[in-house]
Structure 1
Amino acid sequence: MFKQVTVSGATQGVLKRHWKRSIGTGRLGLALQQEYQEHLEMVQEAIGFDYIRGHGLLHDDVGIYRELTQDGETRVFYNFTYIDRIFDAYLAKGLKPYVELGFMPEALASGDQTVFYWKGNVTPPKDYDRWAALIEAVIRHFIERYGLKEVLTWPFEVWNEPNLVNFWKDADQAEYFKLYQVTAEAVKRVHPELQVGGPAICGGSDHWITDFLEFCHARNVPVDFVSRHAYTARQPHRKTPEYYYQELANPEKMLHELQEVREMIRQSPFPDLPFHITEYNTSYSPINPVHDTALNAAYLARILSESGDYADVMSYWTFSDVFEESDVPKAQFHGGFGLIALNGIPKPTFHLFAFFQALGEEVLYRDDSLLVTRREDGTLALLSWNAVLEEGEEGDEQHIQAKLPFSTEEVFVKRQIVNEAYANPWKTWQQMGRPRFPSKGQIQTLRQAAVPKLTTQAARTADGVLELNWKMGKNEITLLEVAPVRNESHTYWGLDDSLIYRGGTEEEDQ
């Protein structure tokens, strides 16, 4: 496939940074692990997300809610030892908490239904007054520790995917609306300007959003944002004890869903509410190998590029494979959601976000496989992608010719490549024989295999136009950066690169 693009110097708009507004994590208790914090440091250094969202704030492993009994009297005790340690670490890395209020502490739960390997309780509270008191106590503590000005910037999201029986007993909408009302009102009693929202549903039940907003309007229940999740994998074609294998819908499906929900919000009694996607990825399963592949990165590139047309926040699920929904990970690559695999090995999708971070502020051109931007210093940054969803699909390779505006005659072009052959440690792991628990030497090799291919070239413009030609391989993402050259070669006395190969004589030097 051959594509020609001519880019004018006119600004088409500002590059939205919705894709870095938040990043997902496994349950918050995992933040107490060293490798988790090491991965978070890597992600923040390369990308720099603004917020972090995860499950289990009120789960028993974080230990906030405790009931103590002595002499037949039961008292509630709030223990903030672990959550202070967790949130301190986030804030030290430049991350604000995006606070999901859930799941139910065992002592406060009305039933014993749980979800995940770590048994998050998904039943309503047996005492809504105690639940409201818990919410108020937690938020008041945050304000005491971090200050009101800081906590006013944190979103508080009520629960997770209550439209699914796995995450909310019987997927009882009326009961969730009750939980939301009690919770939102408790949040606002602490301070009326705190942000609270929901319903945090997954796709396929968008009528919940309409019902939710109508409920909030009819009952005068506070709501400051609408949240939803988005995945594009269909139901499993095949499920094994260790893996899910699923067909992916085209990226347009997610974009279409986001557009539809945005319109639902516009038609609601709250037409200007922000729209937050608090989870998204290709597959919703933490054991789908697609997450480890170059396809995952190339597939999501268009979604990162265009989803800001509809959503204010996009929170990729998740930053790390230090994650335990299905159990402790059983292998180096196991289909985990993370941008970073175990042992600190970046996956191709990690580089997708790093490439987006490198883009400029001005958008000069955008289509379904190319984004051209200009930075404040006048340099250009281009991102192109070539997602191939099926083996043998026509267009496995793509040839691109782009004519770009550039004012200087001499330019330097830097290209970074991620595809099936480069920055694909999953493939290297396959070639090793898929070691479940790789040796230190194997881990070092996998890290070396996770680095994008780098090429550079000098080029010249003609009449203020630079022509670039490049070929995209299967499931490739490419970042091209174009900068002016300040050539100082003339300042070197006696410079002659040809002498490197043929030598010279003293007479030639005199």
Structure 2
Amino acid sequence: MKPIIVAAKGKEQLKENWKYCIGTGRLGLALQKEYLDHLKIIQEKIGFKYIRGHGLLSDDVGIYREMKIGDEVKVFYNFTYIDRIFDSFLDLNLRPFIEFGFMPELLASGDQTIFYWKGNVTPPKDYQKWSDLVTVVVKHFIERYGLEEVKKWPFEVWNEPNLVNFWKDANKQEYFKLYKVTATAIKEVNQDLQVGGPAICGGADEWIVDFLGFCHKDKVPVDFVSRHAYTSQSPKKVTPDYYYQDLVDNTDMLHQFEAVRGLIKESAFSNLPFHITEYNTSYSPINPVHDTPLNAAYLARILSEGGDYVDSFSYWTFSDVFEEADVPKAPFHGGFGLMALHAIPKPTFHLFAFFNRLGEEMLYRDAQMIITRKENGAIALVAWNEVMEKGEGFEKEILLKIPVNNDQYFLKRQSVDDNYANPWKVWKEMGRPRFPDKQSVETLREASIPKLTTAKINKEEDGYLKLLLTLSKNEVTLIELSEMKDETETYEGIDDSLITSYSS
């Protein structure tokens, strides 16, 4: 086997675009305890910078209200819930990546809604009242959090207006009108606030071209471009509980990133930041692939290379406390989340946690691995073996030669695959309980812990550490190599062979 010889010094720094933002279900869910419990764990283990979700202006958050005083109807803006929600985010070192939507019922021009929680997706019946709403909301954020803070918050206009489900008739010109009114209102509060769009899903990139052309022609402010990306094919089968789809090759998502970046460069706004404000494998919140080790192994290359093309890409979503397709009916229901209900980490949670352990200096990268060095000299690498085929086997071997200075290293390896850190598998073995008891929940949490192996390894005569890695099907593994000094000889008279059952 030909070894991979790792460079002694990296040529570039590892970008952290993969952890710039994380998605969430509708913002009103942040009023639930379990939601905040999950978010705290996510921040402790991964530490995202921004959070984006739907429903800022939907009626469950309750910002827009109208009150009748005598014969006169007056608008009342209620910030009770949104203040509580944003305070919770900021307390966890998360800034909001604000999505302006959906339409408050009292402002809506129609009754078309989406999701179990009925987000209204029609244009405003009165654009002046919509403009006033945007203005008052932005001014309130500045009054509460300060202008310098709110300048750091991106403001995105709507969500996937190219789909009839998310924007009535997918009317492009009506969206451009909404964008212009919204962006103008934001900039009239302060010119330094960031606003962008069009937040489309994939498959309609002509919207990007037309949107930027419209902004240029009509001199409408735009500070960033946003888009979504998924890699699932049409459904093979849909049941009341699950939505089954095949996935295309994961390079398709990287090609999506690169293609849209090219469209931006060809526009009148060639240097605009480009944010993927949603991405995942499947776009369905009930696709069981989200619960599997494949989901983690498949997305590993996206985390590794996505930052080459986009300024941020926001995984959709951090938690299965999520209600687009009704209240979840089982702990493993195919939800988008990194974390299942009952605070059970899924394999993809560990993928992100592993990447968060990487160093700043990138020494090596290919389609199945990334190797880095930390500031303290430790080596950290993540390797993966994504397998789309069914069946057993598919092991992959990798031989590494890593140049090091120290003579001895402590190796710590954590692994996720079909047999380790796979609580979905254990849940199936339990008989797929919809509402597991506390003991079963504890078992599932125990089953979510990565496999841990450790070893002491020595530098070889040629100055390299030699590592032979075997990766199982859909394994994602983190290896950390830290310099060590063996102090065994400082223990006078030590002899492990005197312990029953052990050798020296």
Partner of 1:426: 424
Partner of 1:100: 99
Partner of 1:44: 43
Contact 2:496 2:502 (8 Å CA) reproduced: no
Partner of 2:374: 375
Contact 1:279 1:315 (8 Å CA) reproduced: yes
Identity %: 64
Partner of 1:407: 405
1:344 matched to 2:343: yes
- The TM-score with structure 1 as length reference comes to 0.97
Amino acid aligned to 1:456: T
Instruction: Find the partner of 1:444 among 442, 445, 450.
Output: 442
- Distance in structure 1 (CA, Å) of the matches to 2:227 and 2:3: 37
Amino acid aligned to 1:439: D
- Distance in structure 1 (CA, Å) of the matches to 2:191 and 2:450: 48
Give the 5 Å matches for 1:456-467.
456-462=454-460, 463-467=462-466
Amino acid aligned to 2:435: F
Which consecutive aligned stretches of 4+ in structure 1 deviate over 6 angstroms post-superposition?
A: none
1:397 matched to 2:395: yes
Residues 3, 293 of structure 1: alpha-carbon distance in 2 compared, 3 angstrom cutoff: farther
Displacement after TM superposition at 1:247 (Å): 0.6
Amino acid aligned to 1:46: K
- Distance in structure 1 (CA, Å) of the matches to 2:442 and 2:239: 30
Structure 2 residues not aligned, in runs of 5+:
none
Partner of 1:209: 208
- Distance in structure 2 (CA, Å) of the matches to 1:314 and 1:5: 29
Partner of 2:118: 119
- Distance in structure 1 (CA, Å) of the matches to 2:2 and 2:433: 41
Displacement after TM superposition at 1:3 (Å): 6.6
Displacement after TM superposition at 1:470 (Å): 1.5
Contact 1:3 1:399 (8 Å CA) reproduced: no
Partner of 1:276: 275
Partner of 1:435: 433
Partner of 1:83: 82
CA deviation vs aligned residue, 1:445-503 (integer Å, no higher than 9, x gap): 00000000000001111232000012100110000000111111122121122222389
Contact 1:12 1:365 (8 Å CA) reproduced: no
- Distance in structure 1 (CA, Å) of the matches to 2:182 and 2:108: 15
Displacement after TM superposition at 1:10 (Å): 2.2
- Distance in structure 2 (CA, Å) of the matches to 1:4 and 1:467: 9
Amino acid aligned to 1:434: R
CA deviation vs aligned residue, 1:122-148 (integer Å, no higher than 9, x gap): 000000000000001001000000000
- Distance in structure 2 (CA, Å) of the matches to 1:14 and 1:5: 20
Partner of 2:261: 262
Partner of 2:360: 361
Partner of 1:68: 67
The DSSP-based 3-state class of the residue aligned with 1:247 is: strand
Give the 5 Å matches for 1:137-152.
137-152=136-151
- Distance in structure 2 (CA, Å) of the matches to 1:168 and 1:429: 38
The DSSP-based 3-state class of the residue aligned with 2:275 is: strand
Amino acid aligned to 2:440: Q
Amino acid aligned to 2:381: L
Contact 1:408 1:464 (8 Å CA) reproduced: no
* CA-atom RMSD in angstroms: 1.2
Amino acid aligned to 1:408: N
- Distance in structure 1 (CA, Å) of the matches to 2:237 and 2:304: 31
The DSSP-based 3-state class of the residue aligned with 2:415 is: strand
Partner of 1:322: 321
Amino acid aligned to 1:121: N
Contact 1:227 1:276 (8 Å CA) reproduced: yes
Amino acid aligned to 2:453: T
Contact 1:3 1:398 (8 Å CA) reproduced: no
CA deviation vs aligned residue, 1:310-344 (integer Å, no higher than 9, x gap): 01011000000000000000111100000000000
Displacement after TM superposition at 1:266 (Å): 0.4
The DSSP-based 3-state class of the residue aligned with 1:74 is: strand
Residues 502, 136 of structure 1: alpha-carbon distance in 2 compared, 3 angstrom cutoff: closer
Contact 1:58 1:104 (8 Å CA) reproduced: yes
Contact 1:226 1:274 (8 Å CA) reproduced: yes
Contact 1:277 1:311 (8 Å CA) reproduced: yes
The DSSP-based 3-state class of the residue aligned with 1:234 is: strand
- Distance in structure 2 (CA, Å) of the matches to 1:148 and 1:311: 27
- Distance in structure 1 (CA, Å) of the matches to 2:409 and 2:349: 28
- Distance in structure 1 (CA, Å) of the matches to 2:323 and 2:501: 62
The DSSP-based 3-state class of the residue aligned with 2:337 is: coil
Partner of 2:131: 132
- Distance in structure 1 (CA, Å) of the matches to 2:239 and 2:435: 20
